A and B are shown apart, each in its own frame.
Chain A
C-alpha cells in the first residue's frame, strides 16, 4: 500500500471544481424537467413503435394478426427510456461511462424542484406523496366504477369486457400504489432524519425509483387505450397470453414498477445499514425504521422474481416463446408459482410499514414508552423471513402439490405469531396510558380494529378445508381490503396527519380531519364487511353478474363505497385547504414527540443536521423521570421556536 497521505477530505475532492449545476437542476425552461421527460417519452415511444413495425413486417404472421406486440413493447420500452433520458436519470451513468466526474448537487430553488430529478430525499418524499395520491385517486375512481356495475345483477353499466378491464386496472394500480405508499413518501423522507443521517446512500438511485414509479403508472394506464387487459392484477397465464395488446402494458408496467421497487428498497436498506448516526445502535433504531428495513429487504429480494416473470411474459407475447403455454412445453403453473413467490412477500411489503407507523405514533399519544420494542422488531424480521415460505397458499385449489398443503398451511398460520406481536406492542403500550385521541391516534386505533378482522379472516383462508369455500370469492377480496386498506391505508393516513406538519410546516385542519376519519372508518367497514358475507354466500371475484338474492348486500356495499369515496374527497379538500389555500403554520413539535426527526428545524435544511447527531437513547422515554436526551445535536442547532406541547390546530 502506498504511503501517500492526504487529509481526509470527505468525498469533496470528487467535486472540487465549482461547476455549473447539472441540467436537471438548472433554473428555467431550458433544462431537464418533467416537460423534457414527456417529450423524451413521446419520441421514444414513436421510435420504438416504428422499429417494432419495421421488424414485424418481416414476419407475416405478426403483420397479419392485427396485433403487433413487438411494436407495442418496443414503443413502451423506448418510451420509458426516453422518459428517463428526458428527466435526466441517465446523465450520471452516461457521464461515468465517459469518465467525467459527477456534477455538483445543488438543488434548484422554488416549486419547480418537484418536477425535476431531485437527489434530495425530502423532495423525493414529497414527490412520492403526490405520486401515490394520484395513483390512489385514479385507482379509487375505478373502484367506484366497479361498485356502480355491481349495483344490479341484470342491468349493466359497462360491457362485460370493459368491466373486467376496470377490475384489472383497479387491482394493478392499487397493488403497485400500495407497495410504495409508505416506503416512497414517508420512508424516503423520514428514514435519514430518524437515523440521524444527512443523506441517503444512493440519492440518484432514490430519484430513479420515483421517476420510474411515475413511468410505471403511465405504462399501466397505457393499457386502457390499448384496449385493457382481462386478467385481474394476478395476470394468470394462459389468459395472459390470449389477451390483447393491453397485456403488454401490464407486463412491462410490472417490470418498470418492479425496477422502481428494487431501487427504492436497495437504497433505503443500504442507508439504514450504513448511515445510522453515531450511537444509533440497532436497539435504538426507531420501530418505523425497523419496519422499513424489513420492507426494503423484501422489496429488494422478492421483486426480481416479479421482474423475471414479467420478462418471461413479455417474451411470450413478443418473440412467442412458450413459458406459460402448456401445449407448447411451458406451464401455466410456472406463472402462478413465480407470481406468488413475489406476490406473497408483496403482501407483507404492504403490511409491515403500517405496523411501523403504528409503533411510532402510539408512544407519542399514549405518553408511554413503546412496549416490547425488541419483540416488535423481531416480529417484523420474522414476518419478512417467513413470507418467502408461504406462497403456495394462493394455490390450494390449483392442483399443484397437494402433499405440500399441510406445510404451507402451517407456515401461513405461523406467520400470525409474529404478526400478533404488533398487537402485543400496541396493547402493551396503551396499558394504563393517558391517550390523546388526536387524528393520527384515531387512525392507529382504526388500524388495530380493521387489521384484526383482516388477520383473523386470513387464518380462515389459510385453513385448507375452509379455503375450498372461500378461495377466489368475495371473502378473499374483503380479507385483503381489510389488511391493505384497513391496515396500510389507515396507517398511511395516520402517518400523513402526523408527519405532514414536519414535511410541509403546515398543520392539517382538525375539523376536516375528524370528518375524514369518521367517514372513512365507518364507510370502510360498511363497504367491506358485507363482502365477507357476500363471499360466504358464494359470489366469486371479478364477476359482472351475481345471484339475485345478493343484490341487497351488494347495493349496501356499493352505496357505502360511494360514501367512502366522498370521504376521500374530504381528505383531498383538507389537503388542499390546509396546505395551499389557507395554511396554518405548524409548531415545531406539535405532538410533543421525542423522535429525532422532530428535533430538526422546519423546514428541514438540505443537509438535515448541521452537526451529525450523537444518539444517546431510543426515542421512547416518555413519562420517565430523569430520562436521557435522545441525541446530542451539537451546539449549532437550537430549536427554531419553543416546543408547544399539545397544540394541534
Chain B
C-alpha cells in the first residue's frame, strides 16, 4: 500500500486555512472587537485581543483539522490498515520535543508580549492599587495636587484629570477633586485627556467597569485602587459593577459621556456651583473614607462607634507617591 503523508496533508490544509481565517479575522472582525477604540486603553486592549485571536485561531484550526482528519480517515468503520503498536507507537522523540518547544515558545512570547503591553500602557486600565507601578506622565503630580486641594484642570492643557469613583451599595458616585471636590452621580469626562480613576468603596467590594474606556478596578473599602486611561473619542459609555455586591448588583450601572474639553469645563463649573451647598457638607476630599461598619441602625459589632463618611487621615501613607 502506498504510504500516505498524513501530516503533510494536514499541514498544508492547516497553513492555508489559518492564513485565510487569520486575515479575514484581522480585517473584518478585528476593528469591531471589544472594547472598541474610545480610549488609548481600549485601543490597546483591542490590539491585544486581536493578537491573541490571531495566535489562537491557528491553534484551534490545527487541532480541529487533526480531529476531523482522525474521524474521517482513521475510523475503524472505514477499514484501513491495522494500527501498529510497539515502541515506535509509544514515543517519538521528534514529535515530543517539537511539541514542547513550540508550546513553550508561544507561551513565553505571550507572557512577554502581555508584560510589555501592560507596562507600556500604564497598567492597561486595570486597577493598580494605591501605589501604581506604571503611571502616565503627570499623573502623580496631578494626584498629589488633588489631594492637597490645589489641583487644577483646564481644557487642552495636557493635565491629568483625577476622578474619584465611590462604590456603595448599589450605585457609583463620582467626585471631581480639581473642581472643589463636588460629588455627583454623573460621570462626564473630557476628550483627549488622561484620566486617573481613583476607585474606592464605602461598604463591600464592588468593581468599577467602564466597558468602552477599557477600565476595570475593584472598589474596596479603605483602599484606593488607581486605574488610568486617556480618552480619544467622544460618546456614551456604560459603567457596570462587575463584582457581586448584593441584591442590586445587576442594577448597579450608569452611563457616562466623553464630551469636548470645553463642554466638560462648562459642565464641571456649573455642577460645582449647583452642588456647592452639598459639597460643603461632604468630608474633605480624600482617597479613602472610613465608613461606619455598623450602619445607621447600628449593630454588627457591638463596640463600634458611628463614624460617618469621614476622611481617612490614617491612609495618608497609602496615597499614591509623587
Known contacts A238-B204, A434-B74; is A371 also within 8 Å of B247 by CB? no
- Bound complex: CA A61 to CA B294 (Å): 12
Within 8 A of A (CB), among B4-41: 6, 33-35, 41
Interface readout for A25-48 with B: 1 if CB under 8 Å, 0 if not? Answer: 000000000000000000000000
Contact with A238, one of B56, B205, B240, B249 (Cβ below 8 angstroms): B205
Could you say which residues of chain B place their CB within 8 Å of the CB of A627? Answer: 85
- Bound complex: CA A231 to CA B243 (Å): 10
Known contacts A543-B250, A623-B83; is A399 also within 8 Å of B127 by CB? yes
B34 close to A430 (CB less than 8 A): no
Q: Is A512 an interface residue (CB 8 A)?
A: no
Q: Is A328 an interface residue (CB 8 A)?
A: yes
> B60, B63, B89, B130: which has the most chain A beta carbons within 10 Å?
B89
Could you say which residues of chain A place their CB within 8 Å of the CB of B6? Answer: 431-432
Known contacts A239-B245, A328-B293, A416-B103; is A428 also within 8 Å of B95 by CB? yes
Known contacts A366-B83, A410-B111; is A472 also within 8 Å of B204 by CB? no
Could you say which residues of chain B place their CB within 8 Å of the CB of A101? Answer: none
B107 close to A472 (CB less than 8 A): no
Could you say which residues of chain A place their CB within 8 Å of the CB of B103? Answer: 416-417, 420
- Bound complex: CA A157 to CA B56 (Å): 39
A322 close to B251 (CB less than 8 A): no
| Stretch of A90-98, A190-198, A295-303, A451-459 contacting B (4+ beta carbons < 8 Å) | A451-459
- Bound complex: CA A405 to CA B216 (Å): 15
Q: Is B124 an interface residue (CB 8 A)?
A: yes
B35 close to A430 (CB less than 8 A): no
Q: How far apart are B36's CB and chain A's nearest CB, in angstroms?
A: 10
Q: How far apart are B309's CB and chain A's nearest CB, in angstroms?
A: 12
Known contacts A61-B299, A428-B92, A434-B83; is A396 also within 8 Å of B126 by CB? yes
Report the contact-size class of chain B (Cβ under 8 Å from the partner): 35 or more
Contact with B114, one of A232, A430, A463 (Cβ below 8 angstroms): A463
A417 close to B104 (CB less than 8 A): yes
> B80, B129, B204: which has the most chain A beta carbons within 10 Å?
B204
Within 8 A of A (CB), among B266-318: 290-291, 293, 299-302
Q: Is B66 an interface residue (CB 8 A)?
A: yes
B246 close to A164 (CB less than 8 A): yes
Contact with A469, one of B34, B225, B293 (Cβ below 8 angstroms): B34
Interface readout for B65-85 with A: 1 if CB under 8 Å, 0 if not? Answer: 011001100111100111111
Contact with A423, one of B63, B223, B242, B301 (Cβ below 8 angstroms): B63
Interface readout for A421-440 with B: 1 if CB under 8 Å, 0 if not? Answer: 10110011011111111000
Considering the complex, give the chain B residue whose CB is closest to the CB of A624. Answer: B85
> B95, B217, B222: which has the most chain A beta carbons within 10 Å?
B95
- Bound complex: CA A17 to CA B167 (Å): 70
Could you say which residues of chain B place their CB within 8 Å of the CB of A276? Answer: none
A416 close to B250 (CB less than 8 A): no
* Nearest 8 pairs of A and B residues by beta carbon: A624-B85, A543-B250, A472-B242, A399-B225, A623-B85, A399-B129, A465-B124, A544-B250
| 16 pairs, CB–CB < 8 Å, chain A vs chain B | A160-B250, A236-B205, A328-B301, A332-B205, A332-B220, A368-B85, A406-B114, A410-B115, A417-B100, A427-B63, A430-B74, A432-B74, A459-B110, A464-B118, A465-B118, A622-B85
* Interface residues in chain B, defined as those with a beta carbon under 8 Å from any beta carbon in chain A: 6, 33-35, 41, 44-45, 48-49, 52, 56, 59-60, 63-64, 66-67, 70-71, 74-77, 80-86, 89-92, 95-96, 99-100, 103-104, 107-108, 110-111, 114-115, 117-119, 121, 123-130, 132-134, 199, 203-205, 207, 209, 211, 214-218, 220-223, 225-226, 238, 240-251, 290-291, 293, 299-302
Given contacts A428-B95, A538-B34, 10 further A-B contacts (CB under 8 A): A164-B247, A402-B134, A409-B111, A417-B103, A434-B83, A435-B71, A456-B59, A465-B126, A468-B45, A623-B89
* Interface residues in chain A, defined as those with a beta carbon under 8 Å from any beta carbon in chain B: 61, 65, 160-161, 163-164, 230-232, 234, 236-239, 241-242, 320, 322, 325-328, 332-333, 366-375, 396-403, 405-406, 409-410, 413-414, 416-417, 420-421, 423-424, 427-428, 430-437, 445, 448-449, 452-453, 456, 459-460, 462-469, 471-473, 536-538, 540-547, 620-625, 627
